Chain A
Amino acid sequence: MYASKKYWMIAWILVLPALLIRIFTTIYPIIETFHISLFEVKLLQGIRKFVGLDNYLQLFHDSKMITSIRFTAIFVVGSMIGHIVLGIILALILNMKFRGQKALRTIVLLPWAMPMVVIAMASKWAFNNEYGLINDFIRRFAPSFNLDWLIYTNTARSAVIAVDLWKDLPFFAILVLAGLQFISSDMYEAAKIDGAGSIRSFFSITLPLISRNILMLSIFFTMWRITSFDVVYAMTSGGPGESTALIAYRVTTEAFTNLNTGYAASIAVVLFLVMAVLSGLSMSAAKRVDY
């Protein structure tokens, strides 16, 4: 009993620093953010007064915020559909046996290894009508093509989603590929003997067996998308107008540009709650999908 008590004491002493660091860097900021969200805090004007839930109520009447919520939903759904569909296709290609397969897998991963802010800044130029390589490429097939992607709402939004997809798709595909490689070739051979074609094999064997991987990946990728901000920060600054301002970008703008920290905190809290609910639902769903 004595030894056990001592053992636990030492264990706690060793764990305590990490625990304190975690409390100080994670738990405290969350509590403080919630606390600040109940105040009207405008640093520039030296205002700090308790307003209860007013910031939260303002959130749902703020047209800029509604635009942000709408675009964040479009961004997450568009990006995830792209990741899942193209990610599976890319993974299937990478799973084929051909010369240079390993080299290709490494090359494909390169965009993922680059910081998003660098990619986004380069993309700002890439989508430029005058100098951009996107239009240069298109004009090789359609010489009269003329479009400045980042000045219209829909094309700017599409460009932002495309850049996000371009960066993280290889990572998604490589993780799907890992799942593919766990599928025994015996299953495909048995299916072939039973007369199944490649499409039937894909839907009856491949897809069900990688569905858990895809679900888990989708959960994490969705969460990363919801909290994305660097792509629009560097690429569009939320423009044209406010049309590509993701929610996380709005938090940054309110907190660090406008210095309305109370309001920014309320957006952050809502974002946090959305993430918490989503992760709960996702984990619950993940438990139900197993082959």
Chain B
Amino acid sequence: MKRFWSLFLTGSLTIAVALSGCSGNGSRANETTSGTKDAGNAGKDEITLYTIQSTNPKFQDWLKEAEEKSGVKINWVAAPTDSDTRQQKVSTILSSGDNTVDILEINDEMATSFKNAGWLEPLQDTVLTDDVLNQLPQGYMKDMLTSSKGDLIGVPSYTGYLGLWVDQKKLEAAGMTSINNEEDFVKFLKATTKDGQYGYGGSWEKTYVFNEIATFVNLFGGDYFDWSNEGSRKAVKFMYDMANTWKVTPVDQIADKYEQMNQKFIDGKYASVFMWGTGTDYKQANRYGEDQIHMINMPEFAKRSIFTDSWSYVLNSASKNKDAAIKFLKYAASEDGELNGWKNFDRYPARADVAAKEEVAGDIKTIYNEIQSTNEVHGRPMLPQTMEFISEMGTLFQNYIQDKITLDDFCKKAQEAVERYK
């Protein structure tokens, strides 16, 4: 009998230990800065936000204000900083019906992938009412955040441009004051390529290069989905020439993502890059400004054209806290919400009325206004199997740049990829 109880207790203990291990939550879902689940928060609406901003030094300030003004207690889970891992985690959460997060921040690639999958709650009746929607970039909302059924699935948290950034000192050293057209651009690249430094720096890792290919396709008046279009062919040929004919950009960059490209740009290795945002990395490196690194208007090739992007807040369909989540989303889409993003994260407001406010100031506003008034502004060309398509095009491009395939092969295979993923 003694042995029975001994075995029974050992077994029970084993089960208890095993179960306690299973119930542990490794996420940071319950961490907040404004105190945890104390009495002061009793009765408050509560959500869990899957965020990319938690490593931002001002995240706590943003969070505090967001909680105060939305009236929602916001628990948060940090998204991985690596883009591949982040995309995979978000895909897994949404596709599995995981309800441990209510609101997620997703980029255009994810929005395009998920918008027709039924994993995101439509927001047109609750958050994106006409008064709000009218202030947001219409083309972008239509291309990126509207499902095939016509549902609006996200609140854009900012407007970003994939702008041309130049190192002013190199521009001056090249004896130039501006880059207005293709001729200027090539002249600038050639003049600033010397002593191991290059006129142009890219991020040609197979998924990141998509942004640059598509940008040049637009500048040359091509069509990313039509590789028989002369403009599309010219664009990739131009990139090939930059790397192989004129040698104004290094082939090495096919291993680089933005982190490597930005570091090299900051270090003075490049004279220009295409980059998103308002120059936060350059500011942090004390390299930002009219006399240093700054954004200029897109040069006019066949036309002036630029991509816009955003990260958007979306509502998980599986959420159990939809009412609170909608309160948060209304706040995010409000003037206060957008200004909070500008103040703390340096994100340019997506709402036109907020962007026009005095609080939004600085040289970035000047150049953004110039871009808006002189460029064709597009959302990026994405297909539902977004990452698969992007990755395949990137692989083809890398093969072309490394002379493994010809331009004709590239265009033929690119067209096949378009047809396959459309």
Rounded to whole Å, the gap between the CB of B170 and the closest CB of chain A is 18
**What interface size band does chain A fall in?**
35 or more
Given A21-B18, A252-B88, residue A14 in contact with residue B395 (CB < 8 A) = no
By a CB distance below 8 angstroms, the chain A residues around B384 are 44-45
A184-192, A198-206, A255-263, A273-281: which lies at the interface: A255-263
Does B385 sit at the interface, judged by CB under 8 A? yes
Bound state CA distance, A46 and B15, in angstroms?
39
- Dominant secondary structure of chain B at its interface with chain A: helix
Q: Which residue, A46, A151, A233, has most C-beta atoms of chain B within 10 A?
A: A151
- Dominant secondary structure of chain A at its interface with chain B: helix
By a CB distance below 8 angstroms, the chain B residues around A257 are 84, 87-88, 91, 387-388, 391
CB-based contact A13/B255 at 8 Å: no
Does A129 sit at the interface, judged by CB under 8 A? yes
Q: How many residues of B contact A (CB 8 A)?
A: 41
By a CB distance below 8 angstroms, the chain B residues around A43 are 91, 95, 117
* B interface footprint on A168-184 (CB within 8 Å = 1, 0 otherwise): 00000000000000000
Bound state CA distance, A13 and B8, in angstroms?
9
Closest-by-CB residue of A relative to B115 is A44
CB-based contact B402/A233 at 8 Å: no
CB-based contact B264/A130 at 8 Å: yes
Does A128 sit at the interface, judged by CB under 8 A? yes
Bound state CA distance, A135 and B4, in angstroms?
66
Bound state CA distance, A242 and B207, in angstroms?
12
Does A115 sit at the interface, judged by CB under 8 A? no
CB-based contact A10/B398 at 8 Å: no
CB-based contact A240/B206 at 8 Å: yes
Question: Could you write out 29 A-B pairs with CB less than 8 Å apart?
Answer: A10-B7, A14-B11, A17-B14, A18-B14, A18-B18, A44-B114, A45-B117, A128-B255, A130-B252, A130-B269, A148-B250, A148-B255, A151-B255, A152-B402, A156-B255, A236-B255, A237-B207, A239-B205, A239-B206, A239-B255, A239-B395, A240-B254, A253-B391, A256-B87, A256-B91, A257-B84, A257-B91, A258-B385, A259-B95
Chain A positions near chain B (C-beta within 8 angstroms): 10, 13-14, 17-18, 21, 43-46, 124, 128-131, 148, 150-152, 156, 233-234, 236-237, 239-242, 252-253, 256-260
Please list the 6 inter-chain residue pairs (A to B) with the smallest Cβ-Cβ separation, ordered nearest first: A256-B88, A148-B252, A150-B255, A14-B11, A241-B395, A258-B388
